[in-house]
Amino acid sequence: MTSRIERITPAEAQRRQRAGAILIDVREAHERAAGRAEHALGVARTELETDPAATVADRDAQVLLICQSGARSLLAAQALLDAGYARVASVDGGTVRWIAEGLPLAPREADADFYERYSRHLRLPDVGEAGQRRLQAARVVVIGAGGLGSPAAYYLAAAGVGTLVLADDDVVDRSNLQRQILHTEDRIGVAKVDSARTALQALNPSVRVLPFQQRVTSANVEALIAEADVVVDGADNFPVRYLLNDACVKLGKPLVYGAVHRFEGQASVFDAGRQRGQAPCYRCLFPEPPPPEAAPNCAEAGVLGVLPGVIGLLQATEAIKLILGLGEPLRGRLLHFDALGLRFRETRLRPDPGCAVCAPGLPFPGYIDYAEFCGVA
C-alpha cells in the first residue's frame, strides 16, 4: 500500500539531499533530458526496481524518489520498501513542481535535443532509444525532390534519419508548388536539391542533407546509392525507374517504389537484390515499359496535388520500417490508392523466375540504354 510511503515537498527533498540523502529521478532518459532536479541520479523505474542494489547498495540509506508528477515515484518507493529499504520517500508533485518552485536543475544534457525531439518515438517500445539511434545512423537516398520526394524526405528528416541524399537535376518552378511541399515561392528558380536542403535543415538541423544536382544515369547511380540503407524512388520517368531497379538489384539495396497518375497512386518495396527468388523487383512487375502515350507524366496528364503526399508518406513509412526492421514491408505487394474513391487495394506480386535482372543465379546483365528501352526520345 502506497499510503504508508512518506511524501515530501520538493523543497524538503532538496534539504534532505543536501544533508546526504540520495535523490533518484525514476523517469525515462528522454524525460529527464527535458529537465531534472540538480544532482539527482537518473535511473529509470524499471531498472531501479529490477536491481535496486546496483544503484543503492545500502538498504539503510535515505532514498528520495522523484518522477514527473509523483505517481511513478510512489510505485518505485513501494518496490524499494518491499525490497527491504527502510528510509524511502516520494517527492509530491515531482519534477513539474520542482521546476515550478524554482529549485535548481541539472545542466542541460548534450543529447537533450535528441531526447526531446524524438520523445514520441522513444516512448514506443518497438523503437525506443536503440531504434532511434539506428535511424540516426541510417543513410537514405531519395531520387527526385519533387512530388514524391518532398513528403518522403520531409518525414524522413522529421523522423531523424541521419543522412539524406537527394538527387534531382531540376529547378523549382511555380507549377511545382501545388504538390512539391519542400519548395516555396521565394525559391522559384533555385535548384530543387538546394531548396529541399533549406527546408529539411530548417525542420531538423541535426540531419545531414547531401544534395546532388544531377540527372541519375548508369554512370553515377552506383556512386549515389552504394552506401544507402534504403533507396526511395521519387522519379517521374520510366528510364530512371528501370535504372534504379537494376542498380538496387545489383548492389542489394531495398527500393521503395512510388508512382502517381492523375487521381491514383501506387507503392511497393522491391528487395530482390537481398532476397533473390523470394522477393520481386520492378521488372517482375513491368518487364517492358508501357508506350509513352499510355503513361503521360504529371506535366502532360495532371495530378491531384495531395496525391503525391499520400504516396510519399507511404514511402517514408516503408523506409522507416526497413531501417528499424519493423512490421511487414510491402515486399511482394503492390498497394494501389484511388483518391476519388478513397480506397486502397492490394495486388500480390511474385518474383519472375525468368526475370532479366533478378532471376536466381543470373549474373548482372549490365546497364542498358534506358531511354531507348523506354522509347523516350
Beta strands in 271-367 (DSSP E): 333-338, 343-348
**Residue spans of beta strands (DSSP E) within 196-281:** 208-212, 230-233, 255-261, 264-270
Asked if residues 234 and 258 have their Cβ atoms less than 8 Å apart, the reply is yes
* Cβ-based neighbour number of residue 247 at 10 Å: 23
The answer to whether residue 205 sits within a structural domain is yes
- Spatial separation of the C-alpha atoms in residues 315 and 23, rounded to whole Å: 46
Which of these three, 66, 86, 111, is where a domain ends? 111
Domain range for 134: 121-373
Residues 216 and 260 in one domain: yes
Question: Are 164 and 19 part of one and the same domain?
Answer: no
Looking at the structure, do residues 61 and 96 belong to the same domain, yes or no? yes
Which residue, 68, 90, 111, sits at the end of a domain?
Answer: 111
Q: What is the CATH number of the domain that holds 162?
A: 3.40.50.720
Residues 295 and 315 in one domain: yes
Rounded Cα distance between 316 and 189, Å, is 27
CATH number, domain of 102, equals 3.40.250.10
- Cell numbers placing 185: 515561392
Tell me: do 262 and 135 sit in the same domain. Answer: yes
Measured distance CA(130)–CA(135) in Å, rounded:
9
State if pTM tops 0.85: no
Residue-by-residue pLDDT tens, the chain, 377 positions: 556 899 999 999 999 999 999 999 999 888 888 789 999 999 999 999 999 999 999 999 999 999 999 999 999 999 999 999 999 999 999 999 999 999 999 987 778 889 889 989 998 999 999 999 999 999 999 999 999 999 999 999 999 999 999 999 999 999 999 999 999 999 999 999 999 999 999 999 999 999 999 999 999 999 999 999 999 999 989 999 999 999 999 999 999 999 999 999 999 999 999 999 999 999 999 998 877 665 666 666 789 999 999 999 999 999 999 999 999 999 999 999 999 999 999 999 999 999 999 999 999 999 999 998 888 76
Shared domain for 56 and 182, answered yes or no, is: no
Annotated active-site residue 298? The verdict is yes
The domain total for the chain is 2
How many beta carbons lie within 10 A of that of residue 79, not counting itself?
A: 19
Same domain? 172 vs 200: yes
Arithmetic mean of pLDDT over the chain: 94
Residues 86 and 213 in one domain: no
Residues 261 and 327 both lie in one domain: yes
| 342 and 251 both lie in a single domain | yes
Q: Which of 91, 111, 131 is the last residue of a domain?
A: 111
User: Among the options 284, 298, 355, 374, which is catalytic?
Assistant: 298
Do 132 and 225 belong together in one domain?
Answer: yes
